[in-house]
Structure 1
């Protein structure tokens, strides 16, 4: 079963992880979250730290997406070979781009390069046929829609076989549209268009929210999984609340 099947359920709650160290993953595994998004796009992950963080998440039984910085084959390969549940790809704007990402995420001709010695393949203890089969069945590919072009083409992107879920990047959309905030009408309209496309093709849709109070409204609209803030914001907010209580 794909992780995306879980993302269709009532509300799945995760967070963006900015700290490239396994200790923070170990702590977050105690926080009753459904998944993590390791933010390799905007945080200083390298292959070694990504490897350790994914290892810790797997040992904790916590599904992990990697928001990769680009869609190059080596970048996708790195995240998946380390054992990530899937990838979240920023700035997906066309169906052609989505098709290429899917191809690079799965084994096959001109697709993901095969190695049986990786964590994903249980360090050469999983037979090739089994690894090929389980990888095809469980690798999750999430397309992040955060550009006007992506919104314009979202139905075609959602229709691509192998794009397992969509993710709305409201902050980037606000910047791209020149809106003052994510609460602007143009951002909400774009978000609803993404949700409608996901519903049409029976695919889950997620989004970033800065605060859990925003979840109820978007859940009603059809969003089923949420990247709630980040561990950085939670640390700052937590101490600020304690300071305010003094």
Structure 2
């Protein structure tokens, strides 16, 4: 029996648009709730959310059987972290702030078994092989692993063509906020200069035959990114959605209470 099919990787290869959402509450319970919301993929964030390997793995487990594919963003591209999260069952990993060909090539090796890579052979202990119940896991795992590298700086953009040409890099994800900061436009991811850089990056990624990804909290910006050619995109986060919804509910109630009080005063 081979390794499970990675539906997210298959969709990217076929250029079927994949809509996603950011999971940053560091809670398997929250991840499971979100997995029923209809998104193609959920990004379990290990860079800016308070997650470690066990909590990331627990959220991957929480998504099992749902229509939402788990994409795990690690805080850095350390080989040992990649090894552990792959053994825990993640099939798609995203690595932030990739700026050089050498770094991207090292990441490709980290997600592949020898002789094509240097992923440690220990899947018999993990969920990835269904605890050794998938007899052909070692022979078939590589083709189902999806590696997404984040391009978030001017240095990354300068190396983008060469990074996109690397066999084993499945997608390149542009980070508008960090890119804006690196361009001297901190807090302005929607600035015209940043958008122009993203437009150019998407065109170069498409020319290389790879998938381009991005994330935004602005739906108008999301529609623009889709028009520019985004193949996979996240349009919100659990944290910001929770903040907005709870604040809106309080304000709505307080407004209703004020109206009720005013209306009963006789004025």
- Taking structure 2 as the reference length, the TM-score comes to 0.86
Rounded to whole Å, the distance in 2 between the matches of 1:213 and 1:79 is: 34
1:120 to 115, 121, 128: 128
Shift of 1:9: 4.1
1:139 aligns with 2:150: no
Q: Which residue number in structure 1 is paired with residue 249 of structure 2?
A: 242
1:211–1:10 Cα change, 3 Å: farther
Structure 1 stretch 92-101 or stretch 58-67: which is displaced more?
A: 58-67
Say which one has the larger Rg. Answer: 2
Q: Which residue number in structure 2 is paired with residue 26 of structure 1?
A: 32
Unpaired runs of at least 5, structure 1 = none
Rounded to whole Å, the distance in 2 between the matches of 1:5 and 1:60 is: 17
Contact 1:4/1:165 (8 A) holds in 2: no
Contact 1:179/1:186 (8 A) holds in 2: no
Unpaired runs of at least 5, structure 2 = 257-267
Rounded to whole Å, the distance in 2 between the matches of 1:155 and 1:13 is: 25
| 1:172-224 C-alpha deviation (Å, 9 max, x unpaired) | 01111111501223211221222012111111111011133322211111102
| 1:123-143 C-alpha deviation (Å, 9 max, x unpaired) | 01111xx21243112100001
Rounded to whole Å, the distance in 2 between the matches of 1:26 and 1:117 is: 24
| 1:51-98 C-alpha deviation (Å, 9 max, x unpaired) | 211111124353111111111111111211111121101011111111
Q: Which residue number in structure 2 is paired with residue 193 of structure 1?
A: 200
Contact 2:35/2:66 (8 A) holds in 1: yes
- Count of residue pairs the alignment pairs up: 244
1:56 aligns with 2:62: yes
Residues 169-180 of structure 1 aligned to structure 2 (within 5 Å)? 169-180=175-186
Shift of 1:17: 1.0
Shift of 1:243: 4.0
Look up the SS of the partner of 1:210 in the other structure. Answer: coil
Rounded to whole Å, the distance in 2 between the matches of 1:171 and 1:118 is: 35
Look up the SS of the partner of 2:63 in the other structure. Answer: helix
Rounded to whole Å, the distance in 2 between the matches of 1:5 and 1:171 is: 28
Contact 2:40/2:67 (8 A) holds in 1: no
Q: Which residue number in structure 2 is paired with residue 157 of structure 1?
A: 163
Q: Which residue number in structure 1 is paired with residue 218 of structure 2?
A: 211
Rounded to whole Å, the distance in 1 between the matches of 2:248 and 2:15 is: 32
Look up the SS of the partner of 2:125 in the other structure. Answer: coil
2:76 to 58, 70, 73: 70
Contact 1:25/1:53 (8 A) holds in 2: yes
1:105 aligns with 2:108: no
Contact 2:11/2:17 (8 A) holds in 1: no
- Taking structure 1 as the reference length, the TM-score comes to 0.93
Look up the SS of the partner of 1:58 in the other structure. Answer: coil
Rounded to whole Å, the distance in 2 between the matches of 1:23 and 1:204 is: 30
Task: Tell me the C-alpha RMSD between the 2 structures.
Answer: 1.7
